[in-house]
Structure 1
Amino acid sequence: MSTDDGQSRLRIEAAGQGSIAAQRIRNAYTGDVLPAEALHTPEKVSAAPGTSNLPPATLCLGREEELAQLRRILSSQHEGAITQSGAVHGLGGIGKSTLALHYAHRHRDDYTLIWWINGASPDEIETSLTSLTHTLVPGWAAKADRVAQVAWAMQWLAWHPDWLLIYDNVDNPDALTPYTGALHQGRHLATSRRTTGWPDSVPTLTLGNLDPDDATTLLCRLVFKDASPTARQQAEARALSVELGHFPLAIKQAGAYLAQNRGISFDAYRRRLDSKLAKTAHGSDAERTLARIWNVTLHALEKADPLAVELLHTAAWLAPDDISHSLLTPPGTDPDDIAEATGALTAYSMVTDTGTALSVHRLVQTVLRAPQNTDGIQPLRHLQGRERAEQAVLHSLIPPPGQDIPTEDQWDTLTPHIVALAATRPPKHHNASLAIVYKIAGHRLHLQGHTARAVPLYEATLAQHEQVQGNTHPDTLNIRNNLAAAYEAAGDLGRAIPLYEATLAQREQVQGDEHPDTLQSRNNLAGAYEAAGDLGRAIPLHEATLAQREKVRGHTHPETLTSRNNLAYAYRAAGDLGRAIPLYEATLAQREQVQGDEHPDTLQSRNNLASVYYAAGDLGRAIPLYETALAQYEQGQGDEHPDTLNIRNNLASAYRTAGDLSRAIPLLEATVAQYERVRGDAHPDTLSSRNNLAQAYDAAGNLSRAIPLLEATVAQYERVRGDAHPDTLTSRNNLAQAYDAAGNLSRAIPLLEATVAQYERVRGDAHPDTLTSCNNLASVYYAAGDLERAIPLHEATLAQREKVRGHTHPETLTSRNNLAGAYCAAGDLERAIPLLEATLAQREKVRGHTHPETLTSRNNLAAAYEAAGDLSRAIPLYEATLAQYERVRGHTHPETLTSRNNLARVRVAAVQQLDTATPGTDLGRQPPPEATERSV
């Protein structure tokens, strides 16, 4: 079920003139994501033949085997479907981008569109997608905001087939999931230094150094172009390529130097590499090799074009891609001089230039940022480059008086360079003006949903505040809080929690125990404990924070309501529904009063309360609340907004649990289709909804549709979530149930035994999901006639459910019903009948008289009376049960047919005045329904 994940818990704070801040939210939407005039244009806009933003093709000799393998990866069958994603990984400088670019140019006619994407971070991926929108609909894009541009590009890719997206220099494979998981009409290709972290469904190609012959041929081609080298030159080239380790980037840059200095032989160049210029090179083998090459190249450039060397050292501190010429042109500098310097760097293969922007290889930047002893010539040039890079960014963002302030697009363009400066800040290096830029850029990333990306920005800002304002100044504490929030957003609780704890202690000391900032820190720390699964520390801290906020802020202040909501969520996470429900009810009532009936916080509270009613088995209150919330989400968020789909899925699951399959199945089918379109085929929300639909098919007796759908869902969960993830275990449990319902016990039993063992290890012995799986395993043992294992497992499960869930929870009633059925099968009617009578009475009270589970209990009690020879009680009960089954399930449902068969048999027995019930009585044992997937 969807829950308010500690909403507003990670409040990003700011202080001081010009500061900005925002609450942490799951999804931020400002204005219309797509204006009305653009809602239906993506499917109608066609890309011109050959549309791409590919950089110019570069020389790529050899690699034919790798190119062929890449072609197979992106066009072959993989697990029954066309492969949609592939990745090329290897060391920096090994030629990954060159290979991908060569592949794209070679197969350009095979794709309707090829788009080169900077994959270094989520926000840079989005920036590349906005450029796609600007290319296809330039007029509309010029007036749309960034969120709308990204949404338009995503919709265009969802509608149009046969494109290729190339994500270059991917740092985190997970950053691609929103795109590879949602866009299936084309192909995705990534290049990365990362060798691990790729999904099993993504075939990978590991790229190594060049073959010796290919390395020698490439070096000669770079130096001699189309001319043929002599035998001696080829031998010298081979020796040099060995010296360079057959490393592609080194070969390329050595070749560029020799091409510019034709009077220098291969051997002479080797001697220069071995001279005193190379003796101070440090780092990895690749870095040492490249440092030696660059020392030679930079000395040549220093004499020919000193500005080119300054330019290169400046670019070394910025983001490696899309460094505009204007950014590198200081005030008073002739742009033609910059163009000439860029040309010199391009000739020596030190940069790649598009005419308006240049890119520098990441390995080049790594070496240039380190101190280099260049024979006593300006040994601090790397720091001078750093200073020029900082001034270039500040000049772009702080215009002279009378000039326009930077636009949002300009901020977006400069943000990667700002992050690069923050991430590479030398120790004890401070720039007060740049610290302000870091703070603003960090908050902008937070507002765009990229809080984790802001970590280096907050770290740099914090260092500046600690130096200038001191360790305990309120502004310093605000930044420290924000940095902890960024760590948490990045999933780094190991750094987030100690920083939250330190910030809280300092705020208590400096600002007092009840200051609003102190309370926010306490709330944030409690949320981090909760995220780490430490409810023993989270709940008392939430309780204390709520009490203090009620005292300081008042009972209906939005921050107090947030604390109340967060405490309710923690209670629910701990399984304490008795305290969670009243707190959710109070929070919803107050949010309706204070924030309004349709405020996003109110809608979230309504969904949360419905979810906790559902968890408590109170469908009579859960379903109307879901229906109300869904109508409001559809009106406010739109029909296909993720929050709308989430609550629609939850409502459909509640219908299914209530036995209302005529409403559950169509709603789930529609929701699955929408999830596939909006979220993608393998997104966890899609899988959850598909799992729920399969269960609805199962409940309707349609196993021919349920089992294949569950099998496919389990396979996808294993691939996406992993073998032991709770969602995978739940789906595997449900598949085992379906096998059981189909009578395939040879597949059901081993699957459930393995699932129970994994649940106990992952969830613990008394977790509700573990108990569900235990109950189901006991039921399958019963179906197999193994009562020696079924009865003790049912007894143990019932005892734990009574303790954990309470005596009247639907899951407890299911266990009680199933244990009674096992007693009946063992002939122990003295224990079975009272247990069945009590279960029926409780189900009539909790579930209602016509709920399918109540009908099952009624049928089972009638069968027990029959087995005891008490036909006077059995027949009326069978008659009532059949009439209700016909009305609720329909005349041809398997359970209706079983009930009809039972009634006919017992009537014959009564006519013949048999003293015992006919052998083989069908107790109508239900497949326990409580293994419902809990939607995220």
Structure 2
Amino acid sequence: MPGFTKVENRILQKYISDPKLSNSLASIRGVMESIWANDAPRIVQNYTDHGIEHSERIAYFVEKLLQVNPDAEFSEQEIYLLLAGVYLHDIGMQCDVVEYPAIKERAEDEDLDAKFDKEFTAETTNGYSSEEQNEIRKNHHLLSAAWIDYLYKGNDPELSPAIKSLPYDLVDDLMDVCKFHSKLPISDCPDSFNSDPNSRKKMVAALLRFADELDISNTRVNIGTAKIFAIYPDNSVYWWLHNYTKVNFVDPNKIRLKVHLHPEDFESYGSFVREEYITHFKSKNQLVLDALVEQNISLVIDTNSDVVAHKRAEKFPPEITAVLDKKIQESDLSPNSQIQVIAKNSDSKPIEILPPQTIKEVNEGISNIPHLRNPRFTGREDKLKQIHEALISNNAVALSQPVAVCGLGGIGKTQTAIEYTYRYRDEYGFIFWVKADSTDSIISDYVGIAKSLNLPVKNDSDQNTIVAAVLNWFRTNEDWLLIIDNADDPSFVKDFLPPSPKGHILLTSRARVFDALGITSLVEMEEMYPDEAKNFLLKRTARVDPDQQEIEALEKLIHELGYLPLALEQAGAYIYANNSSFKDYLISYKKRGLKLLEKSLIDKSKYPESISTTWLMNFDEVKKNSEVSADILFASAFLNPHKIPAEIFCKGAEKLGSLISAEFSDVDTDPLVFDEVLKPLWQYSLIDRDAGCHTYDIHRLVQAVLRDGMKNDEQYLWAERVIKAVNCAFPEVEYKNWELCDKLLPHALTCAEYIKQWGLETEESSKLLNASGSYLHKRARFKESEPFLKSSLEIRKKVLEPEHFDLSESFNNLAELYKDLARYSEAEPLYARALEIRENVLNPDNPAIAESLNNLAELFTILARYSEAESLCVRALEIRENVLNPDDPDIAESLSNLAGVYRDLGRYSEAEPLYTRALGITEKALGPEHPDVGTFLNNLAVVYQDLGRSSEAEPLNIRSLRITEKALGPEHPIVGTCLNNLALVYQDLGRSSEAESLNIRALRITEKALGPEHPDVGIRLNNLAGVYQDLGRSSEAESLYTRALGITEKALGSEHPDVGIRLKNLAQFFRNQNKYLKARPYYERAIKVVEKTKGENSLDFADLLKSYASLLNNMKRNREATRISKRVTKIRSNIKKGNEK
């Protein structure tokens, strides 16, 4: 039937004839496949292998165990229960007991009797703690039963139909099979089990358990079964063997299990062996440990390579210690020992339960796989599925096409191919492995295949005759899989591919182009996913539940190793062998790098080459084929490994040596040059291309090997070349260039590391640092920006004359950053020095002088030094209007800054036309979506609000927010400003609830970008407090008003006009609360500050006095109130007369 494996189909065809039962199993299996899909969330994370593939492997063992010929044949319904249990027995691992508490409650009913030791608090599917996961794991067999009952009653419209396909009279039986599969005491087995229905279903559960253990141990190496015998002698495995085979046991303890273990399996087995006995393994080739003598169990240990002691090993019972010592001394077995499960009857005659199998055999049929299955293989589920689907799709055509697994050396191609052969071995009658390192190795393996197949020509003296016979066998037979490993040079393979094949061919190769072989189906291997790499290294080092510090070190380490399987294996081998911590290894790796990685002793049978030797041969081949491609590779070693853009080579070629310079001389008219020089690197999988984006990636460890192979002077040369090239490519930091800046920034940051490492203090390096720092500043990455701008300034101080223009640029840019960070005392002298240099070296009307005047004026405006700010703004505007085009955006900037001074002074009628003109110039020059347009729209909207025209301000605010958010990103502090001002408009329009949400978002953005003590945070807090006051949330409002005052005073000083605003707002708040005595001192402080900073004849001062007069009236101090009201009238009259002039 479709959807089932060959094994499952054989079981169905042999035992089940009722189509209703078959269709029900197909439906259940389909649902399980969906629930256990690779991308499905996992409730229990840290469990051994479960899911649909686990069920498929259990079915394989079920078929084997059913061949034992029991006394009473299984009924059709019992086989149905067995297979349904195969699919459903572990579903409890996926029960979300928080979302579906009814399942947990059902499991706790008397008939199931689940015991949960704690309450569950998880809020999401993947949010269960380790303790909660253990609770689910411990009760998963009971949860599985409860889950079946829950769905059978129709509680889930999506999943229930499959479970409702169960025959009504088998529902309870299936629940019992799931319930009993976890633990089934032999004492529960009555003598009448052959006919008693209750015992029969327990027997089905016992068989399911036995097959389950055979798989979850290690396939073909049945450690799990050994554990069952050793730890739980009163269990389902005994019960099934004792009660359901033709063996008439007198004593179940006479069951004998012989298991052949290998070094890579030893870690899983370590809990059985005391550490002191493990040391003997290093000097013995084969050891038999009759450790559990009373159960008469032999464990055959193959230790051809050193085995390191398992630190968590448990002790044997003391009564068997002497026997163990003796067996260790006497052991001497053949390395070709077999896996075998046997039992002895009362006549001491051995009865075969599972047939003997050598370690090289896979399933039934013929196989020559030279590798054992890797018990530490982790992840790669998507790749295995992709390989399987590609090969299976060939079944639909008459002749199958080979599939190539390609990728960088050490990426895990061979290990993935090995896992594929074991995982899908049931689908093939014949599996053959051919090493394609050379023509000779291919021929040698084909001769071996001929002998395995017992072909008539197997001993022919002419090897070509043998190869031809093997190829003919492939052409005329089906049901085979041929793995051609390490086909790095496809030309070696061409003459050895079977013509018109009817089986499956899988190649592994570092090459990527297989045109000569006609292969179009490629599975490209990439680095492991972070979680896969993390789990692999935990498994490799046998670490269980490391603390948070170790987890953090582990995550940093796998990143340093680039998630490369071979690197992870090398690091894991060292960590395990030396019992090192992840934290210590990470520290040493950062210091020693590849030298530490190469010290690891890895299993040569799995990883014959280290990282360095794996890649150095490829480097040599590239250099032979193309010296310019080799130089591209060397340059790439000093760039960020990800998304290396073509612009570095197209714009900076002349800085990268004569070969690259000559090759790229015509790149502007011949862009395919870039593709051609990258082709050899891509073909050897040394880089990954993204042709659409004109970028490529290189693995960080490939870079490390390249650098490690260079002498110091070579490293210095290439680092210097790359810095110059990236500097050439890095454009002016204008909005229109941000996309290119963004592509180049990671590489500029890498260059900065080499500038520091090698002391490369040059004009080019200072320019690159300055550009990078300025771009980071524009993108609101303030903390990252500062060290770049400071380093650029320090280098320029060393390499340039004191009055050099570029120095003024560094002074100016660092001052700009400090101004935005509210570090005003640091910004002012830098601005002043920049202006001084420019005035000394440039003509008086140079626009660069206007830029410095303009920037210093902005600072003075923030500091409320309005007369100085106005003077500088007017001078800057005059220079720009004299020398620039009337529609130049720099003129718009000067107009806006002058308008800002007028607005702060309350001269709104003068500010409005300046803002309007600035907006018009900017839209025309830069386009309607430029972020400066968003800023000027925001400024004009603020003036409209000041003039009481909030309904006109709203559309400007909305458009400003949209433009700014799109251009700068949703977390930029300028977006926070736009949100703040739109909220003020909504507040004016009586839409306080809308204003609140905008204020809260604005506050969050500003705090995150600028820090909690920035004066803009004070503004956001003040405005949010005003909204809370309008909404009647007085206690929240008071707290925010108070915090806003504290921040503003600290940042701007106690006599800044913004402090006056905060004092006024607090005073008015307390007055509205009828707390007049508390309000008055705030009014009096506010009056002093505003009078000093804004002047006696300002509207702000008049409005403040008017509010104070209202307070005095409230306090019945009418005479004082009248005096102040008269003063307000006089001030307003003076302002009106001034405006009329």
Indicate the structure (1 or 2) with the bigger Cα radius of gyration: 2
Q: Structure 1 pair 716/60, CA: closer, same or farther in 2 (3 Å)?
A: farther
1:710 partnered with 2:990: no
1:336 partnered with 2:523: no
1:558 alignment partner in structure 2: 847
Deviations 1:467-514 (A, max 9, x none): 99x845433443444455466567666675455445445434543111
> In structure 1, what is the Cα distance between the partners aligned to 2:1070 and 2:673?
64
TM-score by length of 1: 0.51
1:232 alignment partner in structure 2: 214
The structure 2 residue matched to 1:458, chosen from 722, 741, 748, is 748
Contact kept, 8 Å, 1:572 with 1:612, in 2: the verdict is yes
Q: Structure 1 pair 749/420, CA: closer, same or farther in 2 (3 Å)?
A: same
Contact kept, 8 Å, 1:736 with 1:752, in 2: the verdict is yes
Q: Which amino acid aligns with 1:716?
A: R
Q: Which amino acid aligns with 2:837?
A: Q
Contact kept, 8 Å, 1:569 with 1:580, in 2: the verdict is yes
> In structure 2, what is the Cα distance between the partners aligned to 1:741 and 1:448?
42
2:693 alignment partner in structure 1: 413
Contact kept, 8 Å, 1:626 with 1:651, in 2: the verdict is yes
> In structure 2, what is the Cα distance between the partners aligned to 1:489 and 1:719?
19
More deviation, 639-648/261-270: 261-270
1:838 partnered with 2:1103: no
Deviation of 1:452 after TM superposition, in Å, equals: 6.3
Q: Structure 1 pair 544/426, CA: closer, same or farther in 2 (3 Å)?
A: same
- 1:380 aligned counterpart, secondary structure: helix
Q: What are the equivalent positions in structure 2 for 1:514-525 lying under 5 Å apart?
A: 514-525=803-814
Deviations 1:424-461 (A, max 9, x none): 68475353765555444544998334646645523555
1:367 alignment partner in structure 2: 567
Contact kept, 8 Å, 2:822 with 2:1015, in 1: the verdict is no
Contact kept, 8 Å, 1:523 with 1:545, in 2: the verdict is yes
Deviation of 1:367 after TM superposition, in Å, equals: 2.8
Deviation of 1:66 after TM superposition, in Å, equals: 7.9
- 2:906 aligned counterpart, secondary structure: coil
2:240 alignment partner in structure 1: none
Q: Structure 1 pair 422/649, CA: closer, same or farther in 2 (3 Å)?
A: farther
Q: Structure 1 pair 825/513, CA: closer, same or farther in 2 (3 Å)?
A: same
Deviation of 1:657 after TM superposition, in Å, equals: 0.7
The structure 2 residue matched to 1:567, chosen from 856, 864, 878, is 856
Deviations 1:154-186 (A, max 9, x none): xxxxxxxxxxxxxxxxxxxxxxxxxxxxxxxxx
The structure 2 residue matched to 1:650, chosen from 939, 948, 956, is 939
Deviation of 1:604 after TM superposition, in Å, equals: 1.8
The number of equivalent residue pairs is: 595
> In structure 1, what is the Cα distance between the partners aligned to 2:795 and 2:527?
54
Q: Structure 1 pair 453/803, CA: closer, same or farther in 2 (3 Å)?
A: farther
The structure 2 residue matched to 1:800, chosen from 1071, 1089, 1101, is 1089
Q: Which amino acid aligns with 2:218?
A: E
Deviations 1:56-103 (A, max 9, x none): xxx998667984799xxxxxxxxxxxxxxxxxxx99xx9xxxxxxxxx
1:862 alignment partner in structure 2: none
> In structure 1, what is the Cα distance between the partners aligned to 2:795 and 2:882?
36
1:380 alignment partner in structure 2: 612
Q: Structure 1 pair 753/307, CA: closer, same or farther in 2 (3 Å)?
A: same
Q: Structure 1 pair 204/592, CA: closer, same or farther in 2 (3 Å)?
A: farther
Contact kept, 8 Å, 2:896 with 2:936, in 1: the verdict is yes
Q: Structure 1 pair 520/339, CA: closer, same or farther in 2 (3 Å)?
A: farther
Q: What are the equivalent positions in structure 2 for 1:232-381 lying under 5 Å apart?
A: 232-237=214-219, 269-270=374-375, 303=437, 305-306=485-486, 308=488, 336=515, 343=522, 346=525, 362-364=562-564, 367=567, 370=594, 371-372=597-598, 377=609, 380-381=612-613
Q: Structure 1 pair 203/690, CA: closer, same or farther in 2 (3 Å)?
A: farther
> In structure 2, what is the Cα distance between the partners aligned to 1:442 and 1:421?
26
- Unpaired runs of 5+ residues, structure 2, are 1-31, 50-122, 139-209, 225-263, 270-360, 379-408, 419-432, 438-483, 491-508, 531-559, 569-592, 623-628, 637-645, 650-659, 676-690
Deviation of 1:535 after TM superposition, in Å, equals: 2.1
Q: What are the equivalent positions in structure 2 for 1:79-98 lying under 5 Å apart?
A: none
- 2:697 aligned counterpart, secondary structure: helix
Contact kept, 8 Å, 2:895 with 2:918, in 1: the verdict is yes
Q: Which amino acid aligns with 1:616?
A: L
Q: Which amino acid aligns with 2:992?
A: I
Q: Which amino acid aligns with 2:671?
A: P
Deviations 1:826-874 (A, max 9, x none): 23344333332233332344477999xxxxxxxxxxxxxxxxxxxxxxx
Q: Structure 1 pair 203/824, CA: closer, same or farther in 2 (3 Å)?
A: farther
2:452 alignment partner in structure 1: none
Q: What are the equivalent positions in structure 2 for 1:652-801 lying under 5 Å apart?
A: 652-661=941-950, 663-664=952-953, 667-668=956-957, 688-689=977-978, 691-696=980-985, 698-699=987-988, 702-703=989-990, 706-718=991-1003, 720-722=1005-1007, 730-737=1019-1026, 740=1029, 748-749=1037-1038, 752-753=1041-1042, 755-756=1044-1045, 766=1055, 768-801=1057-1090
> In structure 2, what is the Cα distance between the partners aligned to 1:759 and 1:558?
34
Deviations 1:643-688 (A, max 9, x none): 3343223222212212345644565566668778988999866665
Contact kept, 8 Å, 2:938 with 2:957, in 1: the verdict is yes
Q: Structure 1 pair 744/381, CA: closer, same or farther in 2 (3 Å)?
A: closer
> In structure 2, what is the Cα distance between the partners aligned to 1:244 and 1:617?
78
Q: What are the equivalent positions in structure 2 for 1:528-539 lying under 5 Å apart?
A: 528-539=817-828
Deviations 1:563-601 (A, max 9, x none): 122211222233322211211121112112211211111
Contact kept, 8 Å, 2:889 with 2:921, in 1: the verdict is no
Contact kept, 8 Å, 2:822 with 2:1051, in 1: the verdict is no
2:1101 alignment partner in structure 1: 812
Q: What are the equivalent positions in structure 2 for 1:567-646 lying under 5 Å apart?
A: 567-646=856-935
> In structure 1, what is the Cα distance between the partners aligned to 2:38 and 2:377?
35
Contact kept, 8 Å, 1:691 with 1:709, in 2: the verdict is no
Q: Which amino acid aligns with 2:825?
A: G
1:547 partnered with 2:836: yes
> In structure 2, what is the Cα distance between the partners aligned to 1:344 and 1:840?
84
> In structure 2, what is the Cα distance between the partners aligned to 1:643 and 1:742?
34
Q: Which amino acid aligns with 1:413?
A: C
Q: Which amino acid aligns with 2:1076?
A: L
Deviations 1:334-363 (A, max 9, x none): 653799799586599999xxxxxxxx9951
Percent identity among equivalent residues? 20
The structure 2 residue matched to 1:448, chosen from 711, 724, 738, is 738
Deviation of 1:537 after TM superposition, in Å, equals: 2.6
- 2:1086 aligned counterpart, secondary structure: helix
> In structure 2, what is the Cα distance between the partners aligned to 1:329 and 1:380?
15
2:539 alignment partner in structure 1: none
Deviation of 1:815 after TM superposition, in Å, equals: 2.6
> In structure 1, what is the Cα distance between the partners aligned to 2:698 and 2:730?
10
Q: Looking at both structures, which has the greater relative contact order when contacts are Cα pairs under 8 Å and sequence separation is at least 6?
A: 1
1:511 partnered with 2:795: no
Deviation of 1:820 after TM superposition, in Å, equals: 2.6
Contact kept, 8 Å, 1:451 with 1:490, in 2: the verdict is no
> In structure 2, what is the Cα distance between the partners aligned to 1:65 and 1:346?
17
CA RMSD of aligned residues (A): 5.8
